[in-house]
Structure 1
Amino acid sequence: MVSRPRTDRSPVSHRAVVVPPPWLGHALRAQRGPVPWSAVVRGALAAGPLLAAALAVGQASLGVVAAIAAMLAGINDRPGSRRSAVTRLGVPAVVGAAGLVVGTYAGQSLGAVALSVVLLVLGTLAGCVSAVGPVASSAATQLLVAAAVGAGMPLPESGWQRGLVYLAGAGWLLLLRLALPTPGALAGDFRFDGERAAVARVYDTIADLLDAVGGGDAVARRTALTAALDQAQDALAGPRLRRYAASAAERRLHAQYAAALPLAEAATALAWSAEAVDARAPEALRRLAAAVRGATHTGPLPAPHRSAPALRALDDALLAAAQAFDRGDGGVPHTRGAGPAGAFRTAFGAGGREYGFRVGLSFGAGAAVAQWLHHAQWYGAHTHWYWLPVTAVFLVKPDLGPLVSRVLCRAAGTVLGALVFAALAVVPPGPAGLVAVVTVCGALLPVATRHFAALTAVVTVLVLALVMAGGEPQASTGRIGETLLACVIVLVVGHLPVPLPGDRGGNVRARLATAAEAAQSYLAHVLSGADDRARRWGLRREAYRTLAEARATIALTAAELPALARHAHGAEQAVALLERLVDTVTACAVHLDDTGGLTPRHTRQIDAVLERLAVHQQKAGLVLPPFVLPVPLPERAVTAG
């Protein structure tokens, strides 16, 4: 049978595609990826066994505290290296233990009004500090959660005992993270499997960018390269496993990461200029990735043609990478951080103040309302008033998505988790059954973190099981009621105008200003003719990284309800222009290395991007740091080709 084309002219019907608003669409999306089986195993070996050991020796209350600490550490147990896990899990645990001690003594010595004021002030400071970065945000969250638990949970132990047990619970999970090998990653020293995977991913994404040169996917591939470099930078930034000198494996990884920076620079320049790249270059990059992943030698590497400055830079970088892989030695890679002064400026700048205001007010109001209801005995004899401020802390965190999305997911997840536990509690499970429930929930945590509703459901079941293990009756109804009340409080506080008008939309403006400053520093360094390439690569990394952080913050704000989303107006286009500027400066750097000057195309592009950025700032009402160019530019004095 021969198929024939249709010759009728009847209209084709199209189904209307219903696109949900951004705040709802975010609630319906979940992250995807392979199951992190190693994290699942760690979760199963953490909270449940700790609770079982405590019950076996008749110390149920201590087991509950240790299991809570392990649960919170499990939420932070994300993919990455062992080095970064020390900071990612350890710092929040230490801060959380301090919060538990402070909350315990404050709850024992202060009345309801004074305690609410203390928690409000603590929440405001913790909210400001959260703006510094992901680890600071996790630490501030654990500080507030532990402070509320310490103030409200009836436990026989003193504050310092609770703090030590909390540290032991979180430390147990950290010990598992450091000691257990990752399945399938035993090549070389298994302690560095996360670092090897992160560095290998950098080489793979450079190869992907070279494949996309001249095509429509080049911008997306360059964005993926930025993300891969960020992850590798974080993976190598943790504490050394040896105190005074890096091991051979660490030095090799540092050398391999450092060798990727000029390769990434050359690939970005090629994508900017759309220079043709033959298939040999991506093949060489993938061989390097395989060598990193398997801790093996690279073997012979195919070289690209040296027909243009960016291609010559790529060839030189490949040769340098091969030598670095053979030597296996390199210095400490560029690390982030402007020191205490920079962290202070971030925490108490416009973005930090705005977030601190909302966290403090939500946390303090939650504590005040909960204690008022508790003393009014609206919930009966068994009231867990600390649930309300604890829920408010998680709801007010922008790390977990837009505000309305967080509220919807929290409400749905709590109801689902409470119903599941209520069904389990129809037949009282007994101590062994509760330990089993906590163990299963601990194993599910690494997978549940992909969606806030799923995470909430798992945490709800786990917390209700711990409440029963501590000797209190089943409390599913109270959990639902206080969660819904916290949702209302956070929704109201989230849409209140901040006290200082300059702080409105402060997080978006602060991120955008930081990215613009980093772009200006990179631009000034390259066009000054300085020959410090290590500093240039560090400035380039910081520029792209701050731009990625700004883009993420803007996307999150744009997905809010209109009252909050308006603060992101015009910011996304400004980030796109800044990214184009940094791409152009990268191409300039490569061309200057090869010829000592720039072409009119380079300078025209810089002038055009800066002009468009200035016009856009005026239209969108944005205020960015001024960009200053050296006069004359290198091309005007050196080359016109």
Structure 2
Amino acid sequence: MSRLAPAVPPWLAHALRAQRGPVPWNAVVRGALAAGPLLLVAVLLDRTSVGVVAALGAMLAGINDRPGSRRVSVKRIGVPALAGAGGLFVGTYAGEHTHALVLTLVLTLLGLLAGSVSAIGSVASGAGTQLLVTAAIGAGMPLPEAGWERALAYVGGAAWLLTLRLVLPTPGAVTGDSRLEFWLDFRFDGERAAVAKVYDAIVELLGATGTPRATDRRAALTAALDHAQDALAGPRLRRYASSATERRLHAQYAAALPLAEAATALAWAGDAVPARAAEGPRRLAVAVRANAPTGPLPAPARSAPALRALDDALLRAAEAFDHEGDVHEERLHRRRRTAKSVVRVALGAGGREYGLRVALSFGASAAVAQALHHVHWYWLPATAVFLVKPDLGPLASRVLSRAAGTVLGAVVFAGFAAVLPRPEGLVALVAVCGALIPVATRHFAAQTAVVTVLVLALVMVGGDPQASWSRILETLLACAIVLIVGHLPMPGQRGGRVRGRLAKAGDAAYAYLAHVLSESDDRARRWTLRREAYRTLAEAHAAIGLSAAELPALARHTEGTGEVAATLERLVDTTTAYAVHLDDTGHLTPQDIERLTELLDELTERGRRAGLSRLAPAARRGTLPGLRTAG
């Protein structure tokens, strides 16, 4: 009789899991050309300390150098870099002109601010991280330059990597006969790849319809649409799309929205569709990548409302591909956050809870480090900043990965430091680590190991002695501090980040359902609301998944939220199917109304069990058009 192997606990399974995908060779090249060459130039000019700061800016910018469009990278890399320069400036002057107690208070307040702001989104989180890391470095790292000089050097290093991101073309990304066409068009290779992946995801969803894989394929379609939406939302000099290529890409993305709606409705129905139905979207994906006309598109059968919607969407897509036209800013479906909503997120339950934990971890680490009187005391609070970030995984996973990565990186560096010539060997090591960062970001332990080697090399080039072993000890101490703070009780209900995301997803689902039931003819508005509903659901699922992988003492605070999100997802899927049905027939049956009513009641009950006092769709069911007489 065989014995079953014990199940791996979620917190450990997450620590053992790594992202997969092709090697981002373009980012590897940029990493190799960023920190290392900057440091080399500074050494040759006898301005080593300036080069160390510039290389640090390039390194942290490299961590934010993720796949996507060039214009989006301006915000993704530039905003955190500016925040980092500000942190370096404030930290330098606070470290030079204040007492240790006052400095600890200043760093704690910065932690509260940065932690609260980090709840807004990924760019804000990156900015908060760099603000705190550089504030600690500025306060503790002995450098001859003034605070403003350090800030300029730091921004210069990040700007150098951003320049490489903007000007280096992606080999093979654009097919064009003329060299001029290539140089005019390569700027949009990230947007083109993102839009093409949307059509690929539609094809995969149609192929999975009627199988157990349909749910995962629908989630993959949401992720592809989110990525394309972000890629097309980068900064532009004019309010309207400023080139034919840009207008064409926006039109191609807009044409994918009704196709995605029809494919989702088919998946909801659960019946397998003919293979011919996926051929049209497949040819559209090829046309996007090749920057070429679509040619004739095979029409699917029109035997069901969703198939008829798919056929109509293909006809509109063919027209959009052939005639790019003018795309008004409202039709780009860009997500805007007003100042009021940003403040509401930062001051909400999730922002307050995260801000308090960051402030306590950062402040306590700074206080302990200064009390130990270590020459590299700034490493301890800087390490705590990365450890306290939920973006990088559950707390236990972060601690295990950080500890393992630091030990590995310190041991590897100790071996290199014993044999490499100085400073040229260390400069080469910095360049190699810069090239490895884009690959290492797939796992927090690997990223930590590479960054540890790079930082220790920078410190030694700057004139400090080899510090591998003290780096290990301080990392373990930071792990202990963050573990303690992570389990401390806080004012209000635990799991505020998860509940905030679920409440936002509930509001978006309600807005989408209300618009569909109003039978409005504004389909562009409907697709915008559908995008927001699925996007906020994806964010809620991500937050719930991270919370579920925490240690049991933390995971229990968000029990039941997964069922709430699943119910919301079924509500949005049902709303999508009914939108297509209303387009085709103009009315819903009593059975349709009964199904919606049951879903809303189920949502109310699951929300109550999970401690969510109000979910907008359930609480306001009586205000929905078409449901006022239901029940």
Question: Structure 1 residues 344-353 or 614-623, which shifts more?
Answer: 614-623
Q: 1:521 aligns with which of 511, 528, 533?
A: 511
Contact in 2 for aligned 1:47/1:68 (Cα 8 Å): yes
How has the CA–CA distance of structure 1 residues 69 and 618 changed in structure 2, closer, same or farther, with 3 Å as cutoff? same
State the Cα deviation string for residues 483-528 of structure 1 (Å, max 9, x = none).
1110110000010011x123x2111111111111111111111111
Q: Corresponding residue for 1:285?
A: 281
Q: Which amino acid aligns with 1:247?
A: S
What is the 5 A alignment of 1:31-430?
A: 31-187=19-175, 189-240=185-236, 245-329=241-325, 330-332=327-329, 333-374=332-373, 379=374, 383-427=375-419, 429-430=421-422
Q: Which amino acid aligns with 2:497?
A: N
Q: Corresponding residue for 2:483?
A: 491
Q: Which amino acid aligns with 1:209?
A: L
Contact in 1 for aligned 2:558/2:610 (Cα 8 Å): no
Q: Corresponding residue for 2:492?
A: 501
Q: Does 1:460 align with 2:448?
A: no
Contact in 2 for aligned 1:47/1:70 (Cα 8 Å): yes
Cα distance in 2 between the residues matched to 1:70 and 1:103: 19
Q: Which amino acid aligns with 1:128?
A: S
TM-score, L = length of structure 1 = 0.94
Deviation of 1:26 after TM superposition, in Å, equals 0.9
Q: Does 1:578 align with 2:575?
A: no
Q: Secondary structure at the match of 1:548?
A: helix
Q: Corresponding residue for 1:4?
A: none
Cα distance in 2 between the residues matched to 1:424 and 1:204: 45
Deviation of 1:619 after TM superposition, in Å, equals 2.8
TM-score, L = length of structure 2 = 0.95
Cα distance in 1 between the residues matched to 2:621 and 2:627: 13
Deviation of 1:228 after TM superposition, in Å, equals 0.5
Deviation of 1:629 after TM superposition, in Å, equals 4.1
How has the CA–CA distance of structure 1 residues 417 and 347 changed in structure 2, closer, same or farther, with 3 Å as cutoff? same
Question: Structure 1 residues 214-223 or 31-40, which shifts more?
Answer: 214-223
Q: Which amino acid aligns with 1:538?
A: T
Q: Corresponding residue for 1:3?
A: none
Q: Corresponding residue for 2:594?
A: 604
State the Cα deviation string for residues 216-264 of structure 1 (Å, max 9, x = none).
1111111111010000001111112667751111100000000000111
Contact in 2 for aligned 1:366/1:389 (Cα 8 Å): yes
How has the CA–CA distance of structure 1 residues 618 and 402 changed in structure 2, closer, same or farther, with 3 Å as cutoff? same
Q: What is the CA RMSD across the aligned residues, in angstroms? A: 1.6
Cα distance in 2 between the residues matched to 1:583 and 1:270: 10
Contact in 1 for aligned 2:191/2:228 (Cα 8 Å): yes
Deviation of 1:29 after TM superposition, in Å, equals 1.0
Number of aligned pairs?
Answer: 616
Cα distance in 2 between the residues matched to 1:214 and 1:636: 33
How has the CA–CA distance of structure 1 residues 171 and 570 changed in structure 2, closer, same or farther, with 3 Å as cutoff? same
Q: Corresponding residue for 2:17?
A: 29
Contact in 2 for aligned 1:92/1:142 (Cα 8 Å): yes
Q: Which consecutive unaligned segments of at least 5 residues does structure 2 have?
A: 177-184
Q: Corresponding residue for 1:476?
A: 468
State the Cα deviation string for residues 139-187 of structure 1 (Å, max 9, x = none).
0000011111111111111111111111110000000001111122132
Q: Which amino acid aligns with 2:442?
A: R
How has the CA–CA distance of structure 1 residues 632 and 237 changed in structure 2, closer, same or farther, with 3 Å as cutoff? closer
Contact in 2 for aligned 1:524/1:629 (Cα 8 Å): no
Q: Corresponding residue for 1:622?
A: 612
Q: Corresponding residue for 2:180?
A: none
Cα distance in 1 between the residues matched to 2:277 and 2:16: 40
Deviation of 1:622 after TM superposition, in Å, equals 2.2
Contact in 1 for aligned 2:405/2:445 (Cα 8 Å): yes
How has the CA–CA distance of structure 1 residues 344 and 632 changed in structure 2, closer, same or farther, with 3 Å as cutoff? closer
How has the CA–CA distance of structure 1 residues 632 and 360 changed in structure 2, closer, same or farther, with 3 Å as cutoff? closer
Q: Which amino acid aligns with 1:459?
A: V
Q: Corresponding residue for 1:560?
A: 550
Deviation of 1:633 after TM superposition, in Å, equals 5.3
Cα distance in 2 between the residues matched to 1:418 and 1:635: 63
Contact in 1 for aligned 2:622/2:628 (Cα 8 Å): no
Q: Corresponding residue for 1:5?
A: none
Q: Which amino acid aligns with 2:145?
A: E
Deviation of 1:608 after TM superposition, in Å, equals 1.6
Question: Structure 1 residues 591-600 or 68-77, which shifts more?
Answer: 591-600
Contact in 1 for aligned 2:91/2:136 (Cα 8 Å): yes
Q: Corresponding residue for 1:442?
A: 434
Contact in 1 for aligned 2:621/2:627 (Cα 8 Å): no
Cα distance in 1 between the residues matched to 2:608 and 2:234: 42
Q: Which amino acid aligns with 1:598?
A: L
Question: Structure 1 residues 611-620 or 202-211, which shifts more?
Answer: 611-620
How has the CA–CA distance of structure 1 residues 20 and 301 changed in structure 2, closer, same or farther, with 3 Å as cutoff? same
Cα distance in 2 between the residues matched to 1:633 and 1:167: 53
